[in-house]
Amino acid sequence: MVKKLKSAYFYGKHDLRVEETPAPQPGPKEVLIQVKACGICGTDVHIYEGDKGAAEVTPPTILGHEFSGVVAKTGSEVTNFREGDRVCIDPNCYCGSCDYCRSGEVHFCGNMIGYGTTVNGGFAEYCVVKESQVYRLGENTSFEQGAMAEPVACCLHGIDMCNLRPGHQVVIIGGGMIGLLMLQLAKLAGAAQTALLEPVEKKRAMGKKLGADICIDPLNEDVKAKLHEAGMNWVQTVIECAGRTSTMEQAIDLAGNKGTVMMFGLTKPEEQIAVKPYDIFRKELTLKASYINPLTQARALELIDKGRIDVESMVCKTIGLSGLADVLGNPGMRAEGKYIVIPEK
């Protein structure tokens, strides 16, 4: 008798079904992972809502690209892992032979495989992954922490692009998981002062705990006045993590002379922002965006395992596969913090 395993299949907008299917089997260069934890990402929400995420999704597909687990079986040609290893994955697999890959810009690979987007991912009890995408968890890293390695890796790529130097003043817009990770990375990069703009009191409190010098309620407080009171009169870096057109426009407005605006948050594909070219000219602003996590997974795991970054404080709850659709479809639940799916729960 073939053992049936539970997986959450995405069939289209607002259509997610938990089904039982036979256990997948690894090919010669693949690893079968028993998924222990899988984070719910904003990209998963965009896809669930029928929008385009970081990659094209062709239903039916198992979503979930932030996951960790235990190696359950290895293919005949796998040499670096064995059954029982505690691991996580980098979900973006590059071909290595297209023009982008051969030029070092692997994240624009024309033949990319995305676990949890273009192929089945981690919202399942088991997932098959190429050996090249598997990373061991450190001794001090839990499965829940390991599931957070991919978002940390994405944030690392964004921070790398920010021109952030020791002594800079940094404003973070949005105190969700990504904003709180960016806050910590900005401090590790040497930011002298950091401000977090977040309307939810609970998230502002978390930002303060994680080292923000000032936390501002942008809906009820004068942001510029508060920054001035704190002595933040030349903001060199603004990192937008809310994924709203209004906050992207605000980021451009708050950036000081020679400042860099990192538009990290993901909007709907059709949305547009109003930009005044004169303001960009007058302040010599640099506008940037950051796409996925090119080869930053190992650095993320090091930061997590060595306790240099807190990835647990923003997790509000763990749920089973049966609760996944509720979280994806409920902004109020997601506003409470990061949800982690435990497939066996």
How many Cα atoms sit within 13 Å of 88 on the Cβ side? 32
On whether the pTM is more than 0.85, the answer is yes
The pLDDT assigned to 335 comes to 87
pLDDT digits (tens, 9 = 90+) for 12-70: 999 999 999 998 999 999 999 999 999 999 999 999 999 876 678 999 999 999 999 99
pLDDT digits (tens, 9 = 90+) for 143-182: 999 999 999 999 999 999 999 999 999 999 999 999 999 9
Residue 51 region by backbone torsions, left for phi larger than 0, else alpha for psi between -120 and 50, else beta = beta
pLDDT digits (tens, 9 = 90+) for 198-238: 999 999 999 999 999 999 999 999 999 999 999 999 999 99
What's the start-to-end Cα distance of the chain, in Å?
Answer: 23
pLDDT digits (tens, 9 = 90+) for 245-257: 999 999 999 999 9
pLDDT at 183 over 90: yes
Return the CA Rg of the chain.
20
The pLDDT assigned to 52 comes to 76
Catalytic annotation, residues: 43, 46
Rounded-to-integer distance, Cα 291 and Cα 256, Å:
24
The pLDDT assigned to 1 comes to 37
The pLDDT assigned to 55 comes to 76
pLDDT at 3 over 80: no
The one-letter amino acid code at 97 reads S
Sign of torsion, CA 203 139 64 35?
Answer: negative
Over residues 73-100, mean pLDDT:
98
The pLDDT assigned to 146 comes to 98
pLDDT digits (tens, 9 = 90+) for 292-301: 999 999 999 9
Average model confidence (pLDDT) across the chain: 96
- Name the CA dihedral angle for 160, 161, 162, 163, rounded to a multiple of 10 degrees: 80
